[in-house]
Every structure is written in structure tokens, then in C-alpha cells.
Amino acid sequence: MNAGDYHHLSLLKKGRQQGLRYFMQRHMRALTYFAQNLVNDTAVAEEIVQDCFVKVWESRERFVSIENIKAFLYIATRNACINHLNASATKRQAQSEELSEGLPIPDNDILTRMIHAETITRIHAELDRLPPQQATVFRLSYFEGFTTDEICRTLGISNNAVFLARSRATQALRLIFKGKGLPYLLFIFFIF
Amino acid sequence: MPLPEDIPTLILKKLQERITPEEASRLEAWVAADPANRALLDRLLDEEALMADTKTFDELWGSENGVARFDRMEEAVLAKTAATMAKFGRPWLRYVAAAAIMPLMITAWLLLDHHMRSSVDQTLVAAQIADIPPGRNRAMLTLPDGQTVTLDESQHGILVSDTLRYADGSEVLSTAGKYPSSDVSEPMVISVPRGGQYQITLSDGTNIWLNAGSTLRYPSKFGAGDRVVTFEGEGYFVVAHDSNRPFKIVNQRQTIEVLGTAFNFSAYPDESEARTTLVAGKVLINYGNSLNREYIPLVLSPGQQAVVNGSSGRVETVDTGAFTAWKDGFFYFDGDSPESAFAQLCRWYDLELVYPHKIPNVEFYGKIERNKSLGAILKILEKAGLEFQVIPREAGYQLIINSEE
């Protein structure tokens, strides 16, 4: 637990919202993704996660470490997701089966799912560090499978563009998604 | 058993192939502990699945939508927990508002400042270097008697046959008798200066594109034996097939023997590595110690590149297009180091390269036309955060690279 963690934990315990915001900043993205993978419904996942942070606030005096908070968040979110699934299962059993087939990891282990969510969060953080235009090019080429020409047409830029990568972020992404063979697209620079 | 939160870090390192053996064994211990762990790791190491998961995450949290979602959720939580804040009253809210606005103002100021400064810099550099054009068709021919002939810049290449002609058919040498007659073989030299490029078709039909700063020594006519030329610099060779007369390129560092093939050969005296990139056919390279004639052979297949550095050599698989793009009029960078990229620029624009500080730690990517002026190229590089100065010297220009960090 670093100094920032300790500071914000004590703020939270003193009833300062700044402490709560710190933990939302740290966990809300991974947690919502984790919940969405379970319930397959973004709006429901959002609501569940919001409620769990409210629960953290209500039980703030009990926490002794940030690991406590994290474990509490994931357990509370998982329980809420299961409750939601059970509730809808009684209504629409068929659809529930369909949903569980679509879950990204066959196993229900909460720890495994948490690690999955956190790893994806970390990878996405690298994408977030790219300048907006480079991030757009990354999305089009990697997520949408666009060719160079298609990207240039979509963005209305000249094919004769060049770039230069200097950030650790671009390097990190290139290493992660190495099989895609379009690395230089990331670094297309926009000449007007 | 490491703490679970350590695992994402280990997985990331594994993905990026920078995991240490000690970390790898920790990860392996975690994987072995539970089949679910193994299933998770397999999923994360499957690039298609990883891409799909990252995309799902991105749909939640990427771009403006993601920021808006986060703000909306945070607001909802803060609203539901604000009731218990009542005792702090309004002064606290004012503090929050002020705290929220400050970073915005600072960011705006920084952006504005950065924008103003970079546009001023760009104008300055653009003014300094507007007069440096790209390289063009330039070459010099040295005849057997030592006489030199400057080749026509409006032509792009010469053709060696009974006489010497430009690509359009016109005679290179207006005065008859200077050129060796067709029944003897005399040594010839074509050199392309920095800031130049030229093409030559030899008497056997072999076609060579010569890049800036290159010299080719060749016979006016090939005999019945091996076809031997010596070469320094960078050239793209399309060698005419003739299984009875192997084609040999001799260079200070290595010889390349080919039957009929297309490849790029880059061996500048001022660069430590010589690269042979094979596009088609097959070549045999001999490198090593030329003094005691201990040569090491290397055979290349298409798509492979031989890198020879002194007495060591290795073979890599490469995108050959990146190494031959120059002959089609492009700079093509694919993760090039600053040394390599700037060396290419300096040869083409005939500049002397100077690094007053440490070499910036950047990689070059992309494709750009070689027919642009230096100003246009530097403008693009500047957008990526590099800083340059171009300074006139007695014999041309210096390009000074200021590291960005």
C-alpha cells in the first residue's frame, strides 16, 4: 500500500468524498467491465457498480486496507450480478442460458474474472495514452480491421503520411498486438 | 503464490515478451495452481480473443463516450453519498468547484502556450530550409582514361551496350572514340553523389538503381567467365539470369554471388552494418576476414535479409518493401532508429548530420515521398516532437538534431 493509497483510505474513513473518488478512479472501469461480462447488459452493470461504491461509502469505517476495499467491491459486484441473473432467469430461463454461453471465461471464479478485467484495463490504459488521432487509427485498424486505404478515406487524409513514434505507449501496444501487421498505421501523422 | 494483483503485471510482461525468468516461474506457479488460471492465461494470450475483449472494454470506456460514462457514474455515486456530507456545508462545495476548474485552466494555458511556441518554431525552421530541394538524377561517369563525364540530369539512367546511351536512346558521349570499342572490356566507374540517384543497365541486361552516395565499378563488357562488379553504397539489383556466368558483387566487407535475382544491397562505408535484402531468387553471401580469406557463407531466400557487421553476420526475415521503397521514390521507415533514418535523409538532401546532445530515443515509422523538399519533411518530423536546426556551412548544410528530452 503506497502513500497515496493510505492517504485516500484515511480520507474515505474520515467521510471525505475525495477518498471515495480515488477508489472509483482506480476500480470503476475494471469493475463495470467485470459486471458487464457477467450480466451482458451495460446499463445494469453500471447501476450495480454504482450501488457497490455507495456500499463502500456506507461501510467505510470497516476497511483497514485498500485490498479490503477491492475485495469488497468485486464480491459485492459479483453477488449483485448473480442476483440480477437469478431474477431474470426465473422470468426468462432460455435467455439466461444464452447469456451464460456468451460469458468470456467459462469458469465462474471471481478471482480469475477480476484478474481478467484488470489485465484488459491495463492494456486499454495504453490505448488511452495515445494522442486522440492515433487512438482513432488504432481503433479503425485493429478493432474494425480497416486497411490503410480505408482508414485514410474514412479520416479524409492523404495516404502519403509519415510518423514517428516516440511514446512508450505506442511501443507497448505494438508489442501486445504484434500479429496484426499494421504497426505503422498507429503512427500516421496528419499532414493537414 | 503471488498476490493476485501482481498477476496482471506478469501477464502484461509476458504479452510484451519482457518477462524475466523469475517472473515467468511465478506466473507458471499461478497457472499451475488452478485450471481456471490456465484458461484465463490462454484466453489472454490468444490475440483474437484479447482484441475482442479490449474492444468490448473500449466500447465502455474509450473516447468521449467513455469519459462521459465515467463522469455520469461518478456523479451518481457522489449524489447518493452526498447526503451524509451535509455537515460540511457549502464552503466545501465551493472548494470542490474551484479545485475542478483550476486544472482545466492550467491545461488550457499549457496547450495554448505549446501551440504558440511550436508554430513560431516551425515558421523559423521553414524559413531557414525552404531552399533545400530533394535529391535528383545525378551521376558521374569515369572513363578508362580517367576522364569524367557528368551525366544528364534530365535523364534517369544509362544503358551499356555497343555504345553508351541514355534511357531514351540518345548517345551519352557526343564525341566518338572516347568509349571503349565493343570488342574489348575496359573498367568503368559510375558514381552517384549525395543528393543523387541514377540507374544503369549493364551489358548483360542487369539493371541497377543506385541510391545517393554510391559507386559502382563495372566492365564495359562482360567476358565468358563470372560477371564481377565492385560496389559501395546502396543499390537495388535486378540481375539478368545466366547460369553459366554467376554475377558477383565485391564489396570491402563481403561478396554476393547470384544467378538471377532481385535484391537490395546497402553497404555504406560510414555505417557499421551492411544489409542485403532479397526480393526474389537466391543469393550466396560470403563475409568475414578478407585478409586471411576466411569467409563464412550465408544463403538467402526471398523475404530474408543478411546483416553483416565486421566478422559477424545474421539473417532476418523482413518486409522487403521497406528496404526497396527508395527506388520507387519513398522513404519507408519501419521502426528505424534515428541513426538510420537521419542517415537516409542526410544522404538524400546532402546534409551533414550533427547530434550535439544524446541521440533521441525514438522510432521512425511510415512512408513519405522523397520528392518533397527538406522543409516539408522536417515539418512532419517536428510534429512528432523532434527539434532541428539547419545551418549553412561553407560546403553545404548541417542538420542539427536537438533531442526532445
Pairing type for strands B363-369 and B330-336 reads: antiparallel
Interface of B with A in 8-47 (CB under 8 A): 8-9, 11-12, 15-18, 34-37, 39-40, 43-44, 47
A-chain residue closest to B371, CA distance: A160
pLDDT score of B85 more than 70? no
pLDDT digits (tens, 9 = 90+) for B238-284: 999 988 899 999 998 889 999 788 999 999 988 888 999 999 999 99
**Boundary of a domain, candidates B121, B146, B167:** B121
Any idea what the CATH number is for the domain that residue B228 is in? 2.60.120.1440
- Is B180 domain-assigned? yes
- Is B129 domain-assigned? no
| Per-residue pLDDT at B376 | 80
> Residue B58: which of A111, A143, A178 has the nearest Cβ?
A143
| Per-residue pLDDT at A189 | 38
Q: Are residues B144 and B164 in the same domain?
A: yes
- Higher-confidence residue of A182 and B226: namely B226
Q: Are residues B113 and B194 in the same domain?
A: no
Q: Are residues B144 and B233 in the same domain?
A: yes
The answer to whether the Cβ–Cβ distance between A123 and B4 falls below 8 Å is no
Domain that residue B360 falls in: 330-402
Any idea what the CATH number is for the domain that residue B350 is in? 3.55.50.30
* φ/ψ (deg, to 5) at B123: -60, -45
Counted domains in chain B: 4
Q: Which residues of A touch B37 (CB under 8 A)?
A: 112
Among residues A74, A176, A179, the alpha carbon closest in space to that of A122 is found at: A176
CA angle in degrees (0–180, nearest 5) for B243-B246-B249: 150
pLDDT digits (tens, 9 = 90+) for A64-76: 888 889 888 999 9
The answer to whether the Cβ–Cβ distance between B50 and A50 falls below 8 Å is no
pLDDT digits (tens, 9 = 90+) for A136-170: 777 887 788 777 667 777 776 655 544 434 344 56
A-chain residue closest to B49, CA distance: A104
Q: Does B95 touch chain A (CB under 8 A)?
A: no
Q: Does B360 touch chain A (CB under 8 A)?
A: yes
Q: Are residues B48 and B82 in the same domain?
A: no
Interface probe for A, chosen from B72, B340, B367 (most Cβ of A below 10 Å), is: B367
Q: Which residues of A touch B333 (CB under 8 A)?
A: 162, 164, 184
The answer to whether the Cβ–Cβ distance between A177 and B8 falls below 8 Å is no
pLDDT digits (tens, 9 = 90+) for B316-372: 998 898 899 999 898 887 777 778 888 899 999 999 888 877 776 667 777 788 888
**Boundary of a domain, candidates B21, B38, B61:** B61
Predicted TM-score (pTM) above 0.80 = no
Q: Where are the domains of chain A?
A: 3-124, 129-187
CATH architecture of A3-124: Orthogonal Bundle (1.10)
Q: Are residues B16 and B47 in the same domain?
A: yes
Q: Does B314 touch chain A (CB under 8 A)?
A: no
pLDDT digits (tens, 9 = 90+) for B221-246: 898 889 999 999 999 999 999 888 99
Q: Which residues of B touch A121 (CB under 8 A)?
A: 8, 57
Q: Are residues B27 and B162 in the same domain?
A: no
Q: Which residues of A touch B93 (CB under 8 A)?
A: none
ipTM: 0.84
At the topology level, CATH places domain A129-187 in Arc Repressor Mutant, subunit A (1.10.10)
Q: Are residues B141 and B102 in the same domain?
A: no
